[in-house]
Chain A
Amino acid sequence: MARREDRGRDPWGRDNGGLPPEFDKILKSITKSFRGGRFNILIIIVAIVLIWIVFSCAYTVGVDEVGVIQRFGKYMRTTTPGLHFKLPRGIENLTKVKVKKVYTEEFGLRTLRAGVKTEYAPGKRYLNESLMLTGDLNCAIVPWIVQFRIDDPYKFLFKVRNIRATLRDMSESVMRLVVGDRSINEVITRREEIANEVKIKLQQALDESETGIKIRTVELQKTNVPEPVQPSFNEVNKAVQEKEQLIYQAKEEYNKIIPKARGEAEQTIKEAEGYALDRVNRAKGDANRFLALWREYTKAKDVTRRRLYLEAMNVVIPKLGNKYIIDPEQQGLLPLLNLGREGEKK
């Protein structure tokens, strides 16, 4: 009777509870026992069926989910968490949808073990998901995660058959659309911006297809260039470092030399100033001394002159090694002088 529809590869929900035996099978067993004429068994079976019917009328909806009731396949109502009643199975069927749960879809990576330090499977296997062209016709590897929850259970259940495939295809399409309008530099450095735009556009696309899904976050993992190109990108980074290093080295040299030179210049100037002071003071001293002397000299010129002369002679004459006093009236004095004495000593 109630035709069991193949629900497709729907990965989430569609939780029909434990499938009870089909109506017709039960009825068959009833009729079998009927033919056997064992009424007590028949009564027991009828009782069991009645109990089952009663039980299938009551159901609870968990706090993180809603219940969707279909009567003969037609959508009737959506019920909130708590205890509820419905017509027996076969007439009204219940599907629980977890509306609070956040689901995650990963692109270009797979989580191996979630936790504080989440491990991801190596991205190479999922390269076809994450490899894309940028707007400047370069290749980039963009792995990302989409988190979402079911916002509209009615749409989620009835409007689209394979929601997961829809979401995955849409995500890939939108991500490539956004990345296709950006340069490789922007893809590598402005992940936040890309994620935001993807989120908006993806939500639009999902709304248009009536998936009933609400995107929570779109998160870009580490974006990069393809593996063969990576060393050359690293080389650029290295070159930037080298450039900075060269500049710093030059600045270091500058800072080593210039302040020292400034100090030395200061020293030179100070020394010159010292020289100047010295020179002027000495000149003043000399001059004043001379003037003092001269002032006294003018008072008694002759005698002072004599005194000065004699005082000087008193100092000079004793110092001299050989002194010859010659009378100019004496002739032929020269041979007497033993001028060669020095030579003899040798």
Chain B
Amino acid sequence: MRGMVIVAVVVFALFILFSGAAFVVDETEQVVITQFGRSVGEPIKDAGLRFKIPFIQEANFFPKNLLEWDGDPGQMPTLDKTYIWVDTFSRWRIDDPLAFFETVNNEMAALAKLDNIIESATRNLITSHHLIEAVRNSDRKMDIREVGIDETIKEIIVKPIEVGREKIAKGIMEQAQPKMLQFGIELVDVRIKRINYVEEVQQAVYNRMIAERKQIAEKFRSEGRGESSKIAGEKEKELKKITSEAYRKAQEIKGKADAEATRIYADAYSKDPEFYSFINTLEIYKDSLDKETWLMLSTKSDFFKYLKKYYTE
């Protein structure tokens, strides 16, 4: 009984010693061993079971994997004096845990350092470039076929992009990187997440967009009216052409017929014009004289000559 208790106490003591000496390093961790607050030996970067002197040495864990930094959006002017919000983020890792431990010691402090350094680098880069350089990334030809785009904007768009967003981000990183080295921090990348106009500029941009659209709408409407008038004119022209051509043709046909008829009449009647006028006159008498007509005839006329005498000399 007593012996068992002693065994248990010994086991317990050994366990305490062991748990003070052994520690597990995860794949995502690295460790700096310190003795009374000062670092001892090389930092541990490989995962696995590790040992230290219990109670005297202390294991300080730091993340080994890629860490995030998300900056607060900052308001700053571009080279062309447009005020914008710029929101950046960065990936970083603790490259030298020893330096990290000795300088900043913990992540919160590191993030504060990143805040300062990246934000000032961002400001430097943004204020020394035109807005369009930060918005666009390449010289890609954009489809801006639309009518009536504001001339000034067109100029900005047409201007070749010299830097572009990715290179500005790279510039930020290149400025910030050397300053982070002393803290044992490696910046893996810095990227621009968001760029937006500040409130007042935004309103102005909206107004410009609205004006631009209105202008385009007006253009469409007037195009419609123009096109409509064109068609109406076309119609009028076509109409005149059709009617006049028909008239011309009709007149030609009639004229030809008249000529033909005239020729036929002439051919026939010229055989004996006197006889023609004789029978035709008789026809006219038949048609034109009626009971309203008074006729006074002499007995010397051919018709009544027999009234006086039955013979002719």
Interface residues of A (CB under 8 A from B): 1-3, 5, 24, 27, 30-31, 34-35, 37, 70-75, 128, 131-139, 157-162, 165-166, 169-170, 172-173, 176-177, 180-186, 208-210, 225-226, 228-229, 231-233, 235-236, 238-240, 242-247, 249-251, 253-254, 257-258, 261-262, 264-266, 268-269, 271-273, 275-280, 282-284, 286-288, 290-291, 293-294, 297-298, 305, 308-309, 312-313, 315-317, 319-328
Contact = CB atoms under 8 A, between A and B. Distances in A.
A229 B206 contact: yes
Contacts of A235: 213-214, 217
A235 to B, nearest CB: 5
A254 B261 CA distance: 41
Contacts of A158: 27-28, 65
Chain B binding surface, main DSSP class: helix
A167 B154 CA distance: 35
Contacts, number: 372
Contacts of B251: 272
Contacts of B157: 135-137, 183
A177 B48 CA distance: 41
Interface residues of B, number: 132
A242 B220 contact: yes
Contacts of A176: 165, 192-195
Interface of B: 1, 4-5, 8, 11-12, 15, 18-19, 22-29, 46-49, 61, 63, 65-68, 70, 89, 91, 131-132, 135-138, 140, 142-146, 149, 153, 156-157, 165-166, 188-189, 191-197, 202, 205-206, 209-210, 213-214, 216-221, 223-225, 227-232, 234-235, 238-239, 242-243, 245-247, 249-254, 256-258, 260-262, 264-265, 267-269, 271-272, 275-276, 278-279, 282-283, 285-286, 289-300, 302-304, 307-308
A172 B192 CA distance: 9
A125 to B, nearest CB: 16
A161 B28 contact: yes
Contact of A138 (B11, B25, B205, B220): B205
B269 A309 contact: no
A139 B197 contact: yes
Contact of A272 (B15, B253, B279, B285): B253
Contacts of A276: 253-254, 256-257, 260
Chain A binding surface, main DSSP class: helix
Contacts of B47: 70, 72-75
A216 B278 CA distance: 111
21 contacts: A1-B18, A27-B12, A137-B132, A139-B196, A162-B68, A166-B66, A169-B193, A173-B191, A181-B142, A240-B220, A242-B221, A246-B224, A250-B228, A276-B260, A279-B260, A282-B261, A319-B291, A320-B290, A321-B293, A325-B304, A326-B297
